Amino acid sequence: MAFLSALCLTYACSGDVEHTAPAIRDNDSIPFMHARGINTLISDSGVMRYHMVAEEWDIFTQENRPATWKFVKGLLMERFDEKFHVDLYVQSDTAYLHEQKLWELRGRVVVRNVKGDVFHTEELFWDMIRHEMYNHTYMHIKTPERELEGTEFRSNEQMTKYYVNNSAGAFPVTDTQEQPDNQAKDNTATNENAGTNDQSMEQEQRVKVQAKEKGAAAKPKKFQTVGR
């Protein structure tokens, strides 16, 4: 009996299992890396391509899947071209890089391209596989020559070739406005000259009429003699 009790006790001790539960979702797990006060350079294929500044940076890893980056307190990113000149400036209140494939920018999103065009929106997706950017919300674009706004934005990765649906904009029309103004001035001058000529003709006619009346008054009246 004592032998059986000792055997059961030994089996119970050797069979202890740690009681843990998996995360409800992969995103509920703690980050693999958490960093604060980030100011770093990121390389792509061995070439420095990005400069990132963020208050917090979390990296979440998943089994057999690329890591996901989260910048919940904002992100400022600059992209360099082959000559290490900044060709794209990106800023947002919140940013996610899903599996090293798709950037999701939310909040106050501001993008400036190499031409100086500035894009304002509250949502922007950057597909690094297809090399394009797009969104389905309001987009405001300001260039040195014009302003444009609309929805359903889509662009290349450089933000230099883009189109916007339901668009409306403001364009400079200085040259087209000057021509009607000058034409209106010419028409006014012509009307004024026409009015002056009409007045001169009226005065001439009045003078002729007055001259005729004076000549008629100066002539002696002829009386017809009637014989008896």
Domain containing residue 77? 26-170
The residue among 96, 39, 87, 42 whose CA lies nearest residue 66 is: 96
Amino acid 31: pLDDT: 87
Q: Give a yes or no: residue 12 inside a domain.
A: no
CA distance 153 to 162: 7
Q: Give a yes or no: residue 61 inside a domain.
A: yes
pLDDT along the chain (228 residues), means of 10: 48 55 59 93 88 96 88 96 92 95 96 96 96 95 93 94 84 57 50 51 59 50 40
Q: Give a yes or no: residue 103 inside a domain.
A: yes
* Token pair for 119: 């894009």
Total-model pTM:
0.63
The DSSP 8-state label assigned to residue 34 in this structure reads: E
Q: Give a yes or no: residue 100 inside a domain.
A: yes
Q: Give a yes or no: residue 10 inside a domain.
A: no
| Number of structural domains in the chain | 1
Phi, psi of 192 (to 5 degrees): -65, -45
Amino acid 60: pLDDT: 92
Report the CATH number that the domain containing residue 76 is assigned in CATH: 2.60.450.10
Q: Give a yes or no: residue 37 inside a domain.
A: yes
Amino acid 142: pLDDT: 95
Cα-atom radius of gyration of the chain, to the nearest Å? 43
CA distance 220 to 5: 169
Q: Give a yes or no: residue 223 inside a domain.
A: no
Instruction: Give me the DSSP letters along 84-108.
Output: S-EEEEEEESEEEEETTTEEEEEEE
Q: Give a yes or no: residue 221 inside a domain.
A: no
